[in-house]
Chain A
Amino acid sequence: MTLSASVSSKGKDNLYSELTYEDAGEKWHTTGKEAKSSWFSSFTNTNLPAEKLQPDSDLSSKFESIQSGKKRKRRKLKTKEQKKQHYLARLEKRRKRRLFLLPTVAKYSDFVPLRDMWIKYIEDLLNFSSLNSPNLSSAAQKLMKADFHGCPITVEQSTCPGHVGLQGIVITETQNTFSVVLPNDTVRCIPKCNNIFSFVLHHHVFTIYGNHLKVKPGERSGKKFKSKPTIDM
């Protein structure tokens, strides 16, 4: 502030101390714009060093701000773009490690109730009491659009001989893989490509051709499936 510098030039030792009434003079509280500016110019002429004096400069606005005394808090206004960015983008999620880190270790016993719930869901969906040979095609259509989380699945055929005969509960599904909990508490990631899965419910055996199911689980329900011939391995 210019005024605090003026105090030091007057001969006081303490820099940046508060202005007292004596420093300001008697007329500091005079009202009226012209009176203020005339008083202010005379004050600066007497107190400021000659180098810092700027002729014809209007300092009356600064004077007012000093007189008011209170400090104004300035809140930083947000622009529209900053306000809009409420939810995280995918890259940002990855950076902050909020992207789904799907489990690599899981207990089989934890997922047994999930399997039971899935069986009830499929019974509700397919209506087993009226499941006959003419209904099977519509049931297959429904099953294509159903959810497979919690399905007790077995690998029937595979190009990889290590996968054949694996049996477990599906935890997660991606575009190209099923990840399955095995009864010995390990999680295996099994690709859909070139694999044939199956599960048994109420004496019906359902086989799933992995090659036809290569869609994301969320988007599968909206997709139209075309019947394609399968080429056996």
Chain B
Amino acid sequence: MGKDGPRFVHKEIFQRVNFLYQAAQMVLKQNPKNIELCRYYISTMKTVAEKHVIRIHPCIKRTYCKKCNVVFVSGQTCRIRSRSQSEKHTVVTCLLCRNIKRYMWRKNYSLWPDKDEAWLPDKKEAIKNG
């Protein structure tokens, strides 16, 4: 943050991550057989984000397989079910590598970027004002 107010640090990197994620989705949309190419784009996206210590938002992070890096398209590459054994939750299964991820439906739980502590005071006002 400089004198002119909040500055967007690492803007190019965010643009690149954004582009790679959209490319991975587009490639899979064009031809469902392009699974390996989709994995390749997501893995490069992850390495780029890792190098610059950029946190990927959970909304994006939950839409690809953590194990085999394929973008989830429900019915095509993943299966989503809600279960209520012991505790109510959703189960997301990757149909390619059979990796399972569970998300609990807890009332008190909220994601880190949704919390107020995660935001610097100036930035939140700037976003509110547009």
Residues of A participating in the B interface, judged by any CB pair closer than 8 Å: 87-88, 98, 100-103, 106-107, 110-111, 113-114, 117-118, 121, 124-125, 142, 145-147, 149-150, 171-172, 216-219, 221-222
State which residues 32-46 of B face A: CB under 8 Å: 34, 36-37, 39-41, 43-44
Residues of B participating in the A interface, judged by any CB pair closer than 8 Å: 12-13, 15-16, 19-20, 22-23, 26-27, 30-31, 34, 36-37, 39-41, 43-44, 47-48, 51-52, 67-68, 97
Q: A114-B26, A147-B19 are in contact. List 5 more A-B contacts (CB 8 A).
A: A102-B36, A102-B37, A114-B23, A117-B22, A221-B52
Q: Assuming A102-B37, A107-B31, A221-B51, is B23 touching A150 (CB within 8 A)?
A: yes
Partner of B36, one of A103, A121, A147, A218: A103
Partner of A147, one of B16, B27, B67: B16
B52 close to A117 (CB less than 8 A): no
A219 close to B40 (CB less than 8 A): no
The 5 closest A-B pairs by CB, nearest first: A218-B47, A110-B30, A222-B51, A121-B19, A218-B44
* Neighbouring B residues of A87 by C-beta, 8 Å: 67
B19 close to A118 (CB less than 8 A): yes
5 A-B pairs whose Cβ atoms sit less than 8 Å apart in the complex: A106-B34, A117-B26, A147-B16, A218-B44, A219-B47
B48 close to A218 (CB less than 8 A): yes
A100 to B27, CA, bound (A): 15
A89 to B20, CA, bound (A): 24
Partner of B20, one of A103, A107, A147, A172: A147
Q: Which residue of B lies closest to A118 (CB)?
A: B19
Decide if the interface of chain A is mainly helix, strand, loop or mixed. loop
* Neighbouring B residues of A218 by C-beta, 8 Å: 43-44, 47-48, 51
A77 to B67, CA, bound (A): 24
Q: Assuming A100-B43, A147-B20, is B37 touching A172 (CB within 8 A)?
A: yes
A218 to B47, CA, bound (A): 5
Partner of B12, one of A111, A150, A221: A221
B52 close to A217 (CB less than 8 A): no
A219 close to B12 (CB less than 8 A): no
A116 to B3, CA, bound (A): 37
B47 close to A117 (CB less than 8 A): no
* Neighbouring A residues of B20 by C-beta, 8 Å: 147, 149
A118 to B27, CA, bound (A): 13
A128 to B1, CA, bound (A): 26
* Neighbouring A residues of B16 by C-beta, 8 Å: 145-147, 221
Partner of A100, one of B22, B40, B51, B97: B40
Q: Which residue of A lies closest to B40 (CB)?
A: A100
B68 close to A219 (CB less than 8 A): no
B51 close to A103 (CB less than 8 A): no
B40 close to A102 (CB less than 8 A): yes
* Neighbouring B residues of A100 by C-beta, 8 Å: 36, 39-40, 43
Partner of A98, one of B13, B15, B30, B68: B68
A121 to B22, CA, bound (A): 11
Q: Which residue of A lies closest to B24 (CB)?
A: A149
* Neighbouring A residues of B37 by C-beta, 8 Å: 102-103, 171-172
